[in-house]
Structure 1
Amino acid sequence: MKPSLTFILAAMVLSACTEQPEGDPILRAELGEDGAAQEIVPVPEPGFDTLEPEAEPVSACRLTSFEQVSLTHCIADPAEHRITTALAPSSGDDAGRFAGFARDTETDTVEFAMNGGMYGDDLKAIGYFVQDSDRLSELNRADGEGNFHMKPNGVFFGSDGTWRVLDSDTFFRTVGDRPQFGTQSGPMLVVEGELHPDFQENGPSRAIRNGVGVDAAGKAHFVISEEPISFGQFARFFRDRLETPNALYLDGNISSLWNPATGRMDSGRVGPLLVVEKK
């Protein structure tokens, strides 16, 4: 027996006066031409937001720790990224700063960037430096003071998605073709699976440091410490955790990272830059 129209309307009025459970949609009865209730249709409450929350930007860099020291570890994958070199601006209010470099760069294309080697007063590299296949500075094999001259030093370089780290003597002997990018720094952190011979296990020299290594799969690992770290600890992170057979120290104290995905832009004074771009 079908309910009467009067009964249905009375039930609807009673339902409208009853408070709906919090978070449940309001229910509305649709009446057919013969007066019978045909369907219960859920109606979203006014102002109910049905949009999915916006996803957080994905970053190639993550915070980690090693031997109780905090580090930021960024990965460049040749399947997803390209690596180029650049120079920070040498004049203006933001000379030697990522802020100055970013103003003239397509930010959307940058995955992350780090300072990429040691420089002189003019902010130019003191060692081998290639930008867009143009050699701006020759390989420096001279002896001298400071970290750069702690032999063996080395070169990080690459072309067409093949990236390598080699000590400078091996680079000089075996690399004949000019790469698309390259930067020389020193000392080497890891050489053919062994730590630099002059490193102590955990020596007294502590600084904010950054470096780069390439693993067996061809991925480049960029690391910057978030607190002072010794050479020995830093080198062991590349050898033991990242398993990079060769790794190169890039610099210390002025070490800086620009990571657009997280909004990080360090303000240290930089010169040569390594820029990881999205393909």
Structure 2
Amino acid sequence: MTRLRRAVWLALAMATAPALGQAADCREESFDGAGYILCEVDMQAEDLRLFLKDEEGENLGSFGRVNAMLEREGAVLDFAMNAGMYHSDRRPVGLYVDNGQQQAGLVTREGPGNFGLLPNGVLCVREGRADVIETLVFDAEAPDCRHATQSGPMLVIDGTLHPRFLVDSDSVYVRNGVGTSADGTRAVFAISQGPVNFHSFGRLFRDHLGLPQALYFDGNISRLYAPALGRSDIGFAMGPIIGTVQRVPPAE
């Protein structure tokens, strides 16, 4: 990237961020015998972004590298987690939009694995709101998202659990995902503190958090950055990462 292009990239990033940014509310809660960490984002007060590549086009892959990039624009990562499935080279499996630029297309067909367990969905981040939207609805409505990541399966669809979930399923993993309120102003990101099945994880969003739409991000590899709780998970490189950003006030 040339010096001029980098300067333009930084200027755009600064222009789209709030003055300082309110911190996400990260906390520990229990539901139905399982422990979770929840990070709640007020979409009218916080700066929620997706991250995949740096300004040079290199994969980020870790919370530390995201923070290093943000430092160059006078900001810091407040909370973050992995945000959707990806190929071995860390390309997103489905739709991926970063700062208004689509980098991977929407996938509407059924396929193998959890991603293809339809219905799946998209997290769409717009000005002042975030919405989990079922993929075929997203395809029909084509909302203009500043950031978007596709994953699957949907956990909750219009207040109903995914039809393929089994109460007594023995497929249990540490899992993470996101749910959104009907008005889009509330987004709650969750990661389990131990192995849970899909049915239990979906009920967390529907029955405990009262959210009508929720989307699964991943399992087993799930990781969290929540410095307020002493969490900064490490491991092999990730694909898409989502998190809230706070601007650092200038030194006096």
Paired letter, 1:100: R
Aligned partner of 2:157 in structure 1 is: 191
Tell me if 1:67 matches 2:32: yes
Using the TM superposition, give the Cα deviation of residue 168 of structure 1 relative to its aligned residue in structure 2, in angstroms: 0.3
Aligned partner of 1:271 in structure 2 is: 239
Name the larger-Rg structure.
1
Using the TM superposition, give the Cα deviation of residue 161 of structure 1 relative to its aligned residue in structure 2, in angstroms: 1.2
Using the TM superposition, give the Cα deviation of residue 213 of structure 1 relative to its aligned residue in structure 2, in angstroms: 0.6
Tell me if 1:121 matches 2:88: yes
SS at match of 1:101: helix
Please list every run of 5 or more consecutive structure 1 residues that lacks an aligned counterpart in the other structure. Answer: 1-57
Using the TM superposition, give the Cα deviation of residue 95 of structure 1 relative to its aligned residue in structure 2, in angstroms: 6.5
SS at match of 2:228: coil
Aligned equivalents of 1:232, 1:148: Cα separation in 2: 16
Aligned equivalents of 1:132, 1:108: Cα separation in 2: 16
Q: CA RMSD in A?
A: 1.9
- Give the number of the structure with larger relative contact order, counting CA–CA contacts within 8 Å between residues 6 or more apart: 2
SS at match of 2:138: helix
Tell me if 1:142 matches 2:101: no
Using the TM superposition, give the Cα deviation of residue 268 of structure 1 relative to its aligned residue in structure 2, in angstroms: 3.3
Aligned partner of 1:182 in structure 2 is: 148
TM-score (norm 2): 0.81
1:225-270 CA distances to partner (integer Å, 9 max, x unpaired)?
Answer: 0100110000001000111111000000111111233342111332
Aligned equivalents of 1:266, 1:98: Cα separation in 2: 8
TM-score (norm 1): 0.73
SS at match of 1:104: helix
1:187-236 CA distances to partner (integer Å, 9 max, x unpaired)?
Answer: 00000110000000131100000000112352000000010011000000
Tell me if 1:247 matches 2:214: yes
Tell me if 1:87 matches 2:52: yes
Aligned equivalents of 2:53, 2:190: Cα separation in 1: 20
Identity of aligned residues (%): 38
Tell me if 1:172 matches 2:134: no
